Structure 1
Amino acid sequence: MLLPSWAHASLLQGETLDRVADAAAWVVLVVAPVVVIGLFWMVHILPEKIAEKRRHPQVKAIQALCLLSLVFGGWLWPLAMVWATARPVLPARRDDDGAAPSPLPPPPSDGDPAVGEHGALHARLTGQAEQFEQQLARLRAHLRRLEQEDAAAADKPGPAAQAQWRPDDAAAGMPAIDRKG
């Protein structure tokens, strides 16, 4: 029976094998942890970046939750991701001057290629917003007139002045108008 006289586990021998082993040790001990920590950090701040992109009103709280998640071993990260992607329940973020941002997109500039595509939509939405504001002003004026007429009618004697509406009676199923007489 013939046995091989040399068994080689590596293609490299001697000093070359030592250099390759030293380089691999440096990669494993220094480069790999830096890359893993960098990737971990990038994934960990992903909810914060999503919240900033969506202009979430609670960006600072989501950022704090991401940092707390680092302390607690990543257990809070799913909560931060859900919070960042969920629709906000609080009012929209305020601008620096304290005014709420307009729900309409800003008007496009003349050099913007989207003027033709979105310009008509922007003009239509702006016109509708102005119409709604005018209608709201008319309704408020009408409400003021009705309140003034109601106050004037309450000063006059007669059946309209004698009728009183009591919310507790209406809730109890009793007639809403009680005629005094």
Structure 2
Amino acid sequence: MARHPGAAPARERILEAASRLFYAHGMSATGIDAVTAEAGVAKMSLYNNFASKAELVEAYIEARHQEWLALYDQRTATARSPIERVLAVFDAYLDHASLAYEHGFRGCGLLNAAAELPAGDSGRDAVRRHKEQVEQILVADLETAGVADPAGMAEHLSFLLEGAMSRAGLEGRPDRLVTARRMAAAMLDAA
């Protein structure tokens, strides 16, 4: 395929196309031909940038992780207190849910990916590490806020967040995340 002046590099176009398709249809249901067609590249271009579909899946998972971290960083940039930083975790998930998805919101792209991968797969490990990092972010901000038992509260908030994200994905809208954020704020006020 001819490259257009100013077009993104092939690797970036492939990863963006795979991200859209994997999120909308699932990784198993999305073939390499669909990715290359969506990206506007030849199949050889895909394999010049990713050794296999498994490597493309790992890049997708890392990109989703980095996407969430960027949303969280944007939210914490305006947080005025440790409690607002805790709630920024919920806000970043809300921002994720509010992104324009061509085929609708389907929940956490990382959990969706993990559900398709077998136990022991490195992609599932990457998703687990992301979820652990989110919980550690909560612990650190709860410690700074002086909350008693920050690890216990972080675990509660993680469960609240993940449950809300799952329900929001099933329902195709962020309402459950809005409710979860409100519940988290009430728990933090009481702590």
Same fold (TM over 0.5): no
- The structure number with the bigger radius of gyration is 1
TM-score (norm 2): 0.28
TM-score (norm 1): 0.29
Taking CA–CA contacts closer than 8 Å with sequence separation of 6 or more, which of the two structures ends up with the larger relative contact order? 2
